[in-house]
């Protein structure tokens, strides 16, 4: 029994019908000289009803063209005969937040499941199938199962998470499984953004869509601050702020294409849980709503040794902080919860005089600043941020990089920024106060109200669903396996033969030669 790997091209089967319609509509006249057209009128009326069908008779070109059109349509549907020798297949499913994006009423995960079902139908009986779900952690749904129904149920049970997906770790696990098998195994990744770098087949689902998301949310006693990201064209969104489930305030916010914009809401005192939601529907509903526990003010003191107005202003965004000046030579002489010392580098620490960091010689910045995936860089875009020079930071975990060198790093008790804030335009960008608040939240976290645990915000890379990677074959992966015999090439060869036959029949050289010969004989008589 023939099956099809690309049934979405079934609409091409309408081409043969179009060929018939063109034959019926085509007019072909043969010029004749007659003494009068009067006697022809009744004959033409009697002949008119049967004229369309008469055009289809005694025409050898028509069946050839119909058969050629049919073969082309079937070839595009990639026919194959299921079966073949059973082997091993590992299916990896991306269940990250972006797989919830909808196109044409279907989510990307739903489309991935449908394409996986097509693949399963083509695999030979006895194929051993392993299913892995790749979110922030990799889960094993089935291992070497020959029960096709068990595999289908495992695929159908997959559900998206709001976080990212570590596909590289999942592929590494699949490759480890493949190495353990003597006969090897085929690995297929179902995602929307995976580009294979090894012997892996990537099946990417969905289409690029515009989306808006709540990218940052902070709630303090009396007010809520939200930042909305626009992953699309210029737009105006309606935002609603809820305090303990009751509407507190609603606002409209205009956001340029590809940018973010901030908005502040007022909430009643005593609010425990604040929520902000985007009222307009878009491609990804999961990031249109965010919740945060309201922070209770507890007075904290920050001692600052540098006279940077940028830094002082960013610190004072936290209303529970008191910023005081202290001596750079003896910062411990001023009691404080946090000390910010130096200008190049700038060090945020709870214990001045103790550090795990070391700093290299100042060097010219030959690359743009790039953010590592850390809590301290949440909400940072670093768009159009420039840096003149920096001192490489050694120790701790990298937070910002300039090329391959760490330009900022952190530990649980201190953060080091290896450049002078006056040598960069970072303090003029929205990213600067966000970065400072992230540092403060790490080193002197605020006290949150007793509120139900809330879902973390969806990462920006998951909310940006404007692009989908194409299907791809990694080096040495071969074509997408269906376990049977591929008939596409044979159908294309038959189509080419019929195309040549149609070309020859359309010219009809032997018929013209015959007519010429008969005309010559009549003339001879």
Per-residue pLDDT of the chain (525 residues; tens, 9 = 90+): 677 766 767 888 888 788 777 766 665 556 667 666 665 665 555 555 445 555 555 566 778 878 888 888 888 887 767 655 567 899 999 999 999 999 888 999 999 999 999 988 888 878 899 999 999 999 999 998 999 899 999 999 999 999 999 999 999 999 988 887 766 688 999 999 999 988 899 999 999 999 999 999 999 889 999 999 999 999 999 999 999 999 999 999 999 999 999 999 999 988 999 999 999 999 999 999 999 999 887 888 999 988 788 899 999 888 888 999 888 778 888 899 999 999 889 999 998 888 899 999 999 999 999 999 898 998 888 988 999 999 999 999 999 999 999 999 999 999 999 999 988 999 998 889 999 999 998 999 887 777 778 888 999 899 999 999 999 888 766 544 445 566 788 888 888 888 888 778 777 654 444 444 445 444 444
Which CATH topology does 83-208+467-483 take? Rossmann fold (3.40.50)
Taking alpha carbons only, the member of 410, 372, 402, 375 closest to residue 386 is 402
Compute the distance between CA of residue 274 and CA of residue 216 in angstroms, rounded to an integer.
Answer: 13
311 Cβ contact list (under 8 Å, min separation 6): 304, 340, 346, 421, 427, 436
247 Cβ contact list (under 8 Å, min separation 6): 240, 241
Compute the distance between CA of residue 161 and CA of residue 138 in angstroms, rounded to an integer.
Answer: 12
Q: What's the longest Cα–Cα distance across the chain?
A: 131
C-beta atoms surrounding 426 within 10 Å? 20
pLDDT of residue 21: 75
**Beta carbons of 263 and 253 less than 8 angstroms apart:** yes
Q: Which residue is listed with tokens 């937040």?
A: 97
Q: Which residue is listed with tokens 């060198």?
A: 405
94's tokens: 């991306």
> Do the two domains 83-208+467-483 and 211-296+454-463 of this chain adopt the same fold?
no
Helix 15-25 × helix 61-76 angle, to 10°: 150
| CB burial of residue 489 (10 Å; 0-12, 13-18, 19+) | exposed
Taking alpha carbons only, the member of 454, 441, 438 closest to residue 275 is 454
Would you call the peptide bond into 345 cis, given omega within 30 degrees of 0 as the criterion? Answer: yes
Angle at 253 between CA 252 and CA 255, to 5 degrees: 150
CATH tag, 211-296+454-463: 2.60.40.10
Indicate the pTM of the whole model: 0.60
Domain extents in the chain: 3-80+488-524, 83-208+467-483, 211-296+454-463, 300-445
Compute the distance between CA of residue 494 and CA of residue 19 in angstroms, rounded to an integer.
Answer: 19
Please spell the DSSP secondary structure of 63-85, one letter per residue.
HHHHHHHHHHHHHHT-EEE----
**Beta carbons of 352 and 328 less than 8 angstroms apart:** no
């Amino acid at each position: 029994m023939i099956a099809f790997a690309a049934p979405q091209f079934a609409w091409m089967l309408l081409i043969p019908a179009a060929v018939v319609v063109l034959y019926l509509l085509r007019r072909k006249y043969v010029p004749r000289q007659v003494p009068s057209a009067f006697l022809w009128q009744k004959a033409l009326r009697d002949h008119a009803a049967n004229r369309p069908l008469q055009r289809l008779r005694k025409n050898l070109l028509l069946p050839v063209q119909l058969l050629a059109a049919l073969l082309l349509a079937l070839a595009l549907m990639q026919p194959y005969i299921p079966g073949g020798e059973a082997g091993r297949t590992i299916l990896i499913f991306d269940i990250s937040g972006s797989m919830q994006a909808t196109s044409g009423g279907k989510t990307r995960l739903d489309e991935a499941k449908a394409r996986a079902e097509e693949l399963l139908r083509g695999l030979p009986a006895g194929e051993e199938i392993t299913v892995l779900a790749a979110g922030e952690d990799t889960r094993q749904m089935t291992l070497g199962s020959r029960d096709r129904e068990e595999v289908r149920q495992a695929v159908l049970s997959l559900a998206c998470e709001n976080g990212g997906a570590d596909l590289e770790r999942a592929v590494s696990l699949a490759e480890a499984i493949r190495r353990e098998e003597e006969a090897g195994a085929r690995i297929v990744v179902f995602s929307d953004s995976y580009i294979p770098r090894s012997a892996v087949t990537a099946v990417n689902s969905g289409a690029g869509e515009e989306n808006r998301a709540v990218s940052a949310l902070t709630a303090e006693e009396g007010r809520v601050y939200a930042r909305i990201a626009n992953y699309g064209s210029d737009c105006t969104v309606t935002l609603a702020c809820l305090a303990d489930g009751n509407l507190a305030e609603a606002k409209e916010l205009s956001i340029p294409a590809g940018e973010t914009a901030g908005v502040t809401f007022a909430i009643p005192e005593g609010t425990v849980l604040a929520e902000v939601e985007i009222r307009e529907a878009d491609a990804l509903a999961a990031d249109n709503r965010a919740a945060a526990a309201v922070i209770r003010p507890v007075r904290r003191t920050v001692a600052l040794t540098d006279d940077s107005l940028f830094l002082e202003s960013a610190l004072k965004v936290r209303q529970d902080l008191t910023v005081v000046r202290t001596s750079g030579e003896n910062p411990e002489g001023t009691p404080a919860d946090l000390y910010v010392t130096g200008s190049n580098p700038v060090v945020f620490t709870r214990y001045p005089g103790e550090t795990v960091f070391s700093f290299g010689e100042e060097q010219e910045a030959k690359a743009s600043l790039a953010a590592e995936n850390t809590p301290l860089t949440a909400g940072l875009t670093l768009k159009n941020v420039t840096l003149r020079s920096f001192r490489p930071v050694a120790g701790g975990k990298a937070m910002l990089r300039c090329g391959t060198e760490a330009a900022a790093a952190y530990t649980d008790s201190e953060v080091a920024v290896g450049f002078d804030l006056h040598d960069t335009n970072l303090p003029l960008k929205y990213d600067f106060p966000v970065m400072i608040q992230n540092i403060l939240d790490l080193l002197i976290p605020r006290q949150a109200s007793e509120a139900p645990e809330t879902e973390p915000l969806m990462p920006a890379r998951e909310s940006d669903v404007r692009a989908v990677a194409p299907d791809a074959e990694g080096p040495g992966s071969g074509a997408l396996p269906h376990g049977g015999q591929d008939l596409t090439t044979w159908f294309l060869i038959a189509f080419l033969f019929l195309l040549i036959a149609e070309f020859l029949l359309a010219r009809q050289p032997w018929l013209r030669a015959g007519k010429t010969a008969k005309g010559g004989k009549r003339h001879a008589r």
